[in-house]
A and B are shown apart, each in its own frame.
Chain A
Amino acid sequence: MWVTSIDSMDKDSQDVHQLLNELRTKFVETHKMIKTMQGINLSPEQQQQQLQHLREQVKTKNKLLQKYKSLCMFEIPKE
């Protein structure tokens, strides 16, 4: 793209300007896209830590639920 733009600089400055504008637009769009991308607020290491933490939480809560359910020896009337 750059080579093309340089070549065309001599031929038609209008084309060059258009290409440069396109490039600028692409940069702006990429910037916006990066701003809206999800899940990149953290570094990969921090994200992994959080993921592990969540997995642990699910595991612990599952265990607790299992414990509660095994404790419940009475039939609870449904409302």
Chain B
Amino acid sequence: MAAGANGEQSSTRERLLVALEDLELLARELIEVLAISRNQKLAQPGEESQILELLIQRDKEFQELMKLALDQGKIHHEMQVLEKVVEKRDNDIQQLQKQLKEAEHILATAVYQAKEKLKSIEKARKGAISSEEIIKYAHRISASNAVCAPLTWVPGDPRRPYPTDLEMRSGLLGQMNNPSANGVNGHLPGDALAAGRLPDVLAPQYPWQSSDMSMNMLPPNHSNDFMLEPPGHNKENEDDVEVMSTDSSSSSSDSD
């Protein structure tokens, strides 16, 4: 009989199955004993009653185990509910963690950008240039027709909204190409060299005008306009700026 094999740590299912097996075995034994005793007409009341007692005892244990199993079933249901709650909480926590990560990322980006801004502010503070100076320089650029042709511009007028070859070559870029060069000879564009005009006079001359004409076509105040200089601080330059700025502003009125 397997009744004694039930340990405390074995599952209730196992214990129930063992108890059921015992019951089945005892019942079979009892029936066999009863049948034999009937057939052989032998009275063995002691064995029958012993088996019957065992059967009743085992049945009682089985009933108790069934009650226990039902209780465990209820607990199992409760555990299932708790497992669902745990799963839901896990999802909530994961969602919150994800959002916190996103927030961290956004904040890190913002901090980085703020630091970059602070750096550029600091840099700007160190190399501060007064706005007046920049405006003056801008006036000078616009007054020299470097960005916009005068309204009275006609073909042949050298006052163009772009630098001439000469101006380009006298600028920084031109100097960079040939720092050791004396003047612009040897670095002129093919058409200018072919024309053979510029090497003689370092001033642009075109077929439709003479050098005198080109100078005469300019207003008197524009004689130095092509010579762009970085914003310096001599009195003469400042006067020029004043004159040019008025010219620039008056250029639109000239057309009226």
Q: Which A positions have Cβ atoms within 8 angstroms of B?
A: 2, 5-6, 9-10, 20, 23, 27, 30-31, 34-35, 37-48, 50-51, 54-55, 57-58, 61-62, 64-65, 68-69, 71-72, 74, 76
In whole angstroms, what is the CA distance A45 to B12 when docked? Answer: 10
Chain B residues 177 to 200 lying within 8 A of chain A, measured CB to CB, are: none
Closest to B85 in A: A58
Q: Is the CB of B82 within 8 A of A58?
A: yes
Least CB distance from B255 to A in Å reads 55
**Given contact pairs A40-B12, A45-B8, A72-B99, A27 touches B69 in the complex (Cβ within 8 A):** no
Most A Cβ at <10 Å: residue of B10, B12, B23, B103: B12
Contact of A27 among B11, B24, B78, B96 (CB under 8 A): B24
Which of B13-21, B149-157, B218-226 touches A? B13-21
Cβ–Cβ < 8 Å partners of A42 in chain B: 11-12, 72
B114 at the interface (CB under 8 A from A): no
In whole angstroms, what is the CA distance A5 to B77 when docked? Answer: 40
Q: How many A-B residue pairs have CB under 8 A?
A: 111
Most B Cβ at <10 Å: residue of A34, A39, A46: A39
In whole angstroms, what is the CA distance A12 to B202 when docked? Answer: 144
Q: Is the CB of B20 within 8 A of A54?
A: no
**Given contact pairs A37-B69, A76-B103, A51 touches B79 in the complex (Cβ within 8 A):** yes
User: Closest 8 CB pairs between A and B?
Assistant: A39-B76, A61-B89, A40-B12, A54-B82, A40-B13, A68-B96, A39-B73, A39-B72
Contact of A62 among B27, B89, B99 (CB under 8 A): B89
Query: How many of chain B's residues have a CB under 8 angstroms from any CB in A?
Result: 43
B100 at the interface (CB under 8 A from A): yes
Least CB distance from B38 to A in Å reads 7
Q: Is the CB of A61 within 8 A of B11?
A: no
Contact of B20 among A27, A43, A45 (CB under 8 A): A27
Q: Which B positions have Cβ atoms within 8 angstroms of A?
A: 8-13, 16-17, 20, 23-24, 27, 30-31, 34-35, 38, 52, 68-69, 71-79, 82-83, 85-86, 89-90, 92-93, 96-97, 99-100, 102-103
Q: Is the CB of A47 within 8 A of B20?
A: no
Determine chain A's interface SS by DSSP, over half rule.
helix
Q: Is the CB of A39 within 8 A of B77?
A: yes
Cβ–Cβ < 8 Å partners of A41 in chain B: 11, 13
Cβ–Cβ < 8 Å partners of B20 in chain A: 27, 30-31, 34
Cβ–Cβ < 8 Å partners of B92 in chain A: 65
22 A–B pairs (Cβ distance < 8 Å), ordered by A: A2-B31, A9-B38, A20-B31, A27-B23, A31-B17, A34-B16, A34-B69, A37-B16, A40-B13, A42-B11, A42-B12, A43-B11, A47-B76, A51-B79, A51-B82, A54-B86, A58-B82, A58-B85, A62-B89, A68-B96, A72-B99, A72-B103
